[in-house]
Chain A
Amino acid sequence: MSQENSIGIVAPQRFCSSAPIRLKSGVTLPGFELVYETYGTLNPSRSNAVLVCHALSGNHHLAGIYAGKPDDIGWWDNLIGPGKPLDTRRFFVVGVNNLGGCYGSTGPLSINPENGKRYGADFPIVMVEDWVLAQARLADYLGIETWAAVIGGSLGGMQAIEWAMRFPDRLRHVMAIASAPKLSAQNIAFNEVARQAILSDPNFHGGHYAEYGVVPSSGLRLARMIGHITYLSDSQMGDKFGRQLHRGEYQFSYDVDFKVESYLRHQGNKFSAFFDANTYLITTKALDYFDPAFDFDGDLSTALARAKADFLIVSFTTDWRFSPARSREIVFALMKNRQRVSYTNIDCDSGHDSFLLDDPRYHAMLRAYLENIGI
């Protein structure tokens, strides 16, 4: 990845909320901590703040690098930085690791004050609504009354949409990319297979694996492999791997034959080495449960009617995890309410993961939209 126009060295910060937070599930956490990073400068009128919400495996490290770790580049570094589409010379950008995460925010890896042990499986299930509530506390702390924009891809887009419904006066723009108004049965099915992979790992120990000094890495690895297939498009996989062989000939064994197998194993191994299985389980449930229309007889328009923000909805032609039709459900629901919305369907070969890439048409669109946001 290019380091041109990088924001440079950044450092995470920590926000401690001592006020209790009541979660959608009914559980109350006595308080919580969120790790976050900021880029750029909050202007005197505090009108230039942009919140970036992360997806399933993301975190607060959006852009730049850490001191002494030049390879630890933020996951959306191609978008965020001086002169980049989300221009840190103009905007004050905030990235936050969500509640229940495994990058330092309060989550399953944290110590449960009730028993002095890691929460593990005892950490409550959190929902998109809970994340947004916690993010709002962070906004209060940072002195941000109104976000210029809340941006997210995939599950991050759901948070951006939730922001517009939950806090209509606290954001001016929503940019929801490769997102969906709720999961389909197929989406939930993939999540369930991923969860079963983790839950059936002998090292899972009912989610209290930390107490046994092990991690359910084979389950997590399998979950990631399944997920990864859904992030890519068939054509892209075909172009990238086709039927290429790892060792040039069939092995007549169950070791790696095809390059795509090697790739998936590598992705699974890499992921299971650092991600927490309980966080993965919680996050897939947050995805499954997100359904803002549910309380409105399934009518998404009614659910969105409270929103006052302008919307940019972006989909990718080859995304089959959250297909363009899912984005258009949001678009038509907003249009029915006569809300301000633009929609673009980017012709990109890389499936769901396109939202993380720097396709020039995609980035030009985000840049154009962001440049029109007054600060």
Chain B
Amino acid sequence: MNIHRLSKLERERFDFAVIARWIPAGERVLDLGCGDGHLLRYLSETKGIQGYGVEISPQSVLECVRNGINVLQIDVEGGLSGFEDRSFDHVIISQALQAIHATERILGEMLRVADEAVVSFPNFAYRANREAVAEGHMPVSPDLPYAWYDTPNVRFFTIVDFEALCERLGIEIRGKLAFDETGRSVADDPNLNGSLAFYRLGRKSG
């Protein structure tokens, strides 16, 4: 069994490649919680997208400016007022949804400003996470790299939870992928075997 754990850079590139599968070339893309802007730069270089990133962290905004990324320092907790309806083809939130309090609101806003949303998040019900809790500890893993006392995450949810919320909010799941810690795609029981989940979401028609 290959137990090679991906380096931070490999993981990042892996995540980007997964997201890029769902982003057609030349699109208008909004990346919420864009960090240092590397995903947008990747999509710009590989797909020729035209994008804007949104960040609240001053350090990340500075990194984006250094990286030549269009970045807006806006707190998405307050929604996306100012962004026009359907002004983007895709809106991405890559491993940042769990750090936002207003989960329902932001999901609704994402599908207001864009035709589709791409969401990735760490699955708290992943086997290793369950084992950590069973042993009496909050999980710390490559996809959940923070100690409980310094984590930026404020929402702790699983693949099953997320899909139930989408159902309740009338959000259509148009694609989903899950991967374990080594980056292998997981088909069997992703809520148990998937460490990181990716969703392509749209508005239910009718």
Contacts and interface: CB of A to CB of B under 8 A. Distances in A.
A343 B65 contact: no
Contacts of B84: 336
Interface in A322-345: 328, 331-332, 335-336, 338, 340-345
Interface string B18-30: 0000000000100
A312 B84 CA distance: 21
B87 interface: yes
Nearest to A325: B82
Contacts of A341: 52, 70, 72
B8 interface: no
A345 B73 contact: yes
A58 B87 CA distance: 39
Given A335-B52, A365-B62, A368-B66, A344 B73 contact: yes
B65 A338 contact: no
Contacts of A365: 61-62, 65
A193 interface: no
B50 A343 contact: no
Interface string B73-95: 11000000011100100000000
A15 interface: no
A372 B83 contact: no
B65 A328 contact: no
Contacts of B73: 343-345
B119 interface: no
Contact of B71 (A328, A332, A342): A342
A361 interface: yes
Contacts, number: 54
A198 B84 CA distance: 44
Interface range for A: 20 to 34
Most buried by B among A312, A342, A365: A342
Interface in A350-375: 361, 364-365, 368-369, 371-372
B70 A364 contact: no
B28 A328 contact: no
A169 interface: no
A372 B82 contact: no
A347 interface: yes
Given A341-B70, A344-B73, A372-B68, A336 B87 contact: yes
Contacts of A369: 65
Contact of B70 (A332, A342, A361, A368): A342
B136 interface: no
B58 interface: yes
B118 interface: no
A344 B50 contact: no
A372 B65 contact: yes
Contacts of B74: 328, 343, 345
Contacts of B72: 331, 335, 341-343
B64 A342 contact: yes
A300 B50 CA distance: 21
B82 A328 contact: yes
Contacts of B64: 342
Interface in B142-198: none
B62 A332 contact: no
A343 B74 CA distance: 8
A59 B72 CA distance: 31
Nearest to B30: A335
A82 to B, nearest CB: 21
Contact of A361 (B58, B68, B69, B82): B58
Contacts of A332: 82-83
Nearest to B50: A338
23 contacts: A312-B65, A335-B52, A335-B72, A338-B50, A341-B52, A341-B72, A342-B61, A342-B64, A342-B65, A342-B72, A343-B71, A343-B72, A344-B61, A344-B62, A344-B65, A344-B71, A345-B73, A345-B74, A347-B58, A365-B62, A368-B65, A369-B65, A372-B65
Interface of B: 28, 50, 52, 58, 61-62, 64-66, 68-74, 82-84, 87
Closest 5 CB pairs of A and B: A332-B82, A343-B72, A368-B65, A344-B73, A368-B66
